[in-house]
Amino acid sequence: MSLSARNLSLTLSNTPLLGAIDLDIQPGRITTVLGPNGAGKTSLLRVLGGELQPDTGNVSLNGRKLTEWSPRQRARILAVLPQHSLLNFPFTAAEVVMLGRTPHDSGLEHDREIVTQALKAVDGDYLAERIYTQLSGGEKQRVHLARVLAQIWAPCLEGERFLLLDEPTSSFDLAHQQLTLDVVRNLALQGVGVLMVIHDLNLAARCAHQMILMQCGKIVVAGSPVEVLNQDTIARVFQVTATIGTHPVNGTPLVIT
Amino acid sequence: MRWLPPTRLLVIMGSVLLPLMLLGLMMGPVWIAPAGVLRALADHFNASATAASSQEGLILFAIRLPRVILAGLVGVSLAVCGTVMQGLFRNPLADPSLIGVSSGASAGASVMIVLGGGALLQGGQAVGLSVIALGAFTGGLLAVALVYRLATSATGTSVATMLLAGIAISALAGALNSLFTFMADDAMLRRISLWQMGSLDAANWPRVWIAGLAVAILMTLLPREGPALNAFLLGESEARHLGIAVDAVKRKLILLTAMAIGVSVAVAGTISFVGLIVPHIVRLLIGPDHRYLIPASAMAGAILLILADAAARVVVAPAELPAGILTALLGTPFFFSLLARGRRGEVG
């Protein structure tokens, strides 16, 4: 059981965005996707999330094609956190998180409990009754993180759960970047398969089981952080010269540019 | 800024509605005291022959009761469809006219008034709707169908394109409307302009039944889409990720809106601002959760229009103002204050 892509390609308005992508996201493992701007990271995430239909190939979720799932059942096990949110209505933060429970029929009491827990998990319990539109950018992003957490909070009958995140740390301060990594690691420990698009090589290296470097819509290298992060690949993909060290405490590769 | 518990607002409005209807029955060129209204009502339901012949009974049952009920029904349609449009477009300043239904209906009415000619207008009635009303209904539906077709492609219906298409179709309908206004003679001109102001003075029982049916369909099918509308506010992709069948829901919402607004324009002309301000006021009071917003807007819309229509009958008595003028007079200052607050970043 996994979220798997086979031979994906995608062309929008004559621009090839993705080509020949093969990818498996395993339950309990964290995959980070890196690459320069326009490499196709977000497109990949949108195809995996079922938002865009690939021109060739297919995506399967727990052995069934994405398109064969009913939208509601699929939403119980596959959550997506986009880079930006369009929400512009004065919900409270708790109400926004509650939207994550839309695909479930678990009852109001139970859902409220999950909302409280999810907000606590992102260090946002103090936000619960605040009006979403009045929050700071980082607070809003945390609320949405709590929302997708609430969506896939507990194991359910549809099978293994997966979470796709598009630059979840982009507007966070250092402490909340760490917090996000902890949240993601915790999810993986509970068996959730995570795919995360991220720009910070070192953050990516710290939490990833699998790292993917993309360029021009293709996967250039995939493997463990140690396998992927070396001077050669970084020069090839990002066109920068980097020194690779080792993190003094946890031993992961450390990229110094 | 917020808030009232939603249930409390519903209870307050519910308890205001009946007394307000009573007030609506009392007010008009001929004042009927509350006791008179109640006596006539009692007589009517005793089905005695004398009830229908009394003058008060006649005014109440032939004129005021259908009118008050129709005002309530039209108010429900306008306010609820406004709520739906604001949710669908994720824009608190949207209203049903955005998808072209109002301007299409106006053009349809003008076409009928000018081309229909005098004879047709005097005698032409079908199930209590004048030919003008039928023209308006058809025009409204045609406009929405065009807007929807323009905005729908293989990849689904784009709300942004729909907004643009709505503006374009409204402009087209506006031009058509001007063309027929230009061709009209003086009597027709007066009819066109009165019709466009929106009024409930043509209320009769058949219209009540038609509007009642539309509202019944609307209020049966719509409230269950409350959670979907909430998810829509996050954006369409997010709604999809939350398990909403986005395109099916969108189609349903647009169809329901076109139907309900088409009917309400046909029976009462274009009544502005109810669809814009009512959802807004209610949202300020209880927040944007559509599970409460829809029923609360429905009641608030009914209240506002019953009130505006009752006022329309007495402010320039014995003549009568079109209710559309009063809702706009009440609505415009509010709209300006919203715009001003929006510029300071408080709306939303």
The secondary element (H helix, E strand) that includes residue B86 is: helix B65-88
Q: Which residue has the tokens 């010269």?
A: A241
Confidence of residue A198 (pLDDT cuts 50, 70, 90): very high
Average pLDDT, chain A: 92
What is the C-alpha to C-alpha distance for residues A146 and A183, in angstroms, rounded to an integer? 10
| The pLDDT value given to residue A147 | 97
The string of pLDDT tens digits covering residues B232-245 is 999 988 999 999 99
Q: Is the pLDDT of residue B156 over 80?
A: no
Report the pLDDT averaged over residues A15-20.
90
A80 touches chain B (CB under 8 A): yes
What is the C-alpha to C-alpha distance for residues B164 and B172, in angstroms, rounded to an integer? 12
Exposed, middle or buried: residue B215 (CB in 10 Å: 0-12, 13-18, 19+)? buried
- Check CB contact under 8 Å for B241 and A75: yes
Give me the residues paired with residue A18 across strands: A10
* A152, closest residue in chain B (CA to CA): B242
Instruction: Select from A71, A78, A86 the Cβ nearest to the Cβ of B234.
Output: A86
Confidence of residue B315 (pLDDT cuts 50, 70, 90): confident
| The pLDDT value given to residue B171 | 92
| The pLDDT value given to residue B335 | 65
Q: Is the pLDDT of residue B198 over 60?
A: yes
Q: Is the pLDDT of residue A227 over 80?
A: yes
What is the C-alpha to C-alpha distance for residues A227 and A205, in angstroms, rounded to an integer? 11
- Check CB contact under 8 Å for B1 and A102: no
The string of pLDDT tens digits covering residues A148-182 is 999 999 998 899 999 999 999 887 888 889 999 99
Q: Is the pLDDT of residue B345 over 50?
A: no
Which of A183-187, A230-234, B38-42 reaches the highest mean pLDDT?
Answer: A183-187
> And the tokens for B324?
């559309």
Exposed, middle or buried: residue A136 (CB in 10 Å: 0-12, 13-18, 19+)? exposed
Report the pLDDT averaged over residues A186-203.
93
Which A residues 99-158 touch B at CB under 8 Å? 99-100, 102-103, 131, 133, 151
> And the tokens for B159?
């709300």
The string of pLDDT tens digits covering residues A127-141 is 999 999 999 999 999
What is the C-alpha to C-alpha distance for residues A213 and A32, in angstroms, rounded to an integer? 9
- Check CB contact under 8 Å for A133 and B241: no
With residues binned 3-state (H G I as helix, E B as strand, rest as coil), the percentages for chain B, rounded to 5, are: 80, 0, 20
Instruction: Select from A49, A86, A96 the Cβ nearest to the Cβ of B241.
Output: A49
- Is the dihedral angle over the CA atoms B243, B247, B248, B253 positive or is it negative? positive
- Is the dihedral angle over the CA atoms B264, B202, B16, B331 positive or is it negative? positive
Cβ within 8 Å of residue A156, ≥6 positions away: A76, A77, A104
Report the length, in residues, of chain B: 348
What is the C-alpha to C-alpha distance for residues A184 and A25, in angstroms, rounded to an integer? 14
- Check CB contact under 8 Å for A86 and B289: no
The string of pLDDT tens digits covering residues B83-124 is 999 999 888 888 888 888 888 988 998 888 888 755 455 555
Distances (CA, A) of B223 to B15, B86, B108, B248, B296: 21, 15, 30, 15, 11
Angle formed by the axes of helices B101-123 and B186-197, nearest 10°:
130
In this predicted structure, which of B48-57, B111-120, B130-139, B178-187 has the lowest mean pLDDT? B48-57
Within chain A, how many helices (H) and strands (E) appear? 9, 12
What is the C-alpha to C-alpha distance for residues B82 and A232, in angstroms, rounded to an integer? 58
Q: Is the pLDDT of residue B53 over 60?
A: no
Residues of A in contact with B94 (CB under 8 A): none
- Check CB contact under 8 Å for B234 and A131: no
* B348, closest residue in chain A (CA to CA): A89
Residue A21, phi then psi, degrees to nearest 5: -90, 125
Confidence of residue B51 (pLDDT cuts 50, 70, 90): very low
Residue predicted with more confidence, B267 or A150: A150
B248 touches chain A (CB under 8 A): no
| The pLDDT value given to residue B343 | 53
| The pLDDT value given to residue B339 | 64
First to last CA, chain B: 12
What is the C-alpha to C-alpha distance for residues A114 and B73, in angstroms, rounded to an integer? 40
B5 touches chain A (CB under 8 A): no
| The pLDDT value given to residue B338 | 62
Helix (H, G, I), strand (E, B) or coil at B44: helix
Confidence of residue B347 (pLDDT cuts 50, 70, 90): very low
In this predicted structure, which of A128-132, B34-38, B209-213, B232-236 has the lowest mean pLDDT? B34-38
DSSP labels for B114-125?
A: HHHHHHHHHH-E
Q: Which residue has the tokens 């021109």?
A: A55
Instruction: Select from B233, B283, B287 the Cβ nearest to the Cβ of A87.
Output: B233
From A183's Cα to the closest Cα of chain B, the distance in A is 20
The string of pLDDT tens digits covering residues A104-116 is 988 999 999 999 9
The string of pLDDT tens digits covering residues B273-296 is 889 888 988 888 888 999 999 999
- Check CB contact under 8 Å for B227 and A100: no
As a whole number of angstroms, the longest Cα–Cα distance in chain A is 54
What is the C-alpha to C-alpha distance for residues B98 and B167, in angstroms, rounded to an integer? 7
Q: Is the pLDDT of residue A85 over 90?
A: no
Q: Is the pLDDT of residue A68 over 90?
A: yes
| The pLDDT value given to residue B222 | 94
Mutation for A interface: B2, B83, B234, most A CBs within 10 A: B234
- Check CB contact under 8 Å for B241 and A78: yes
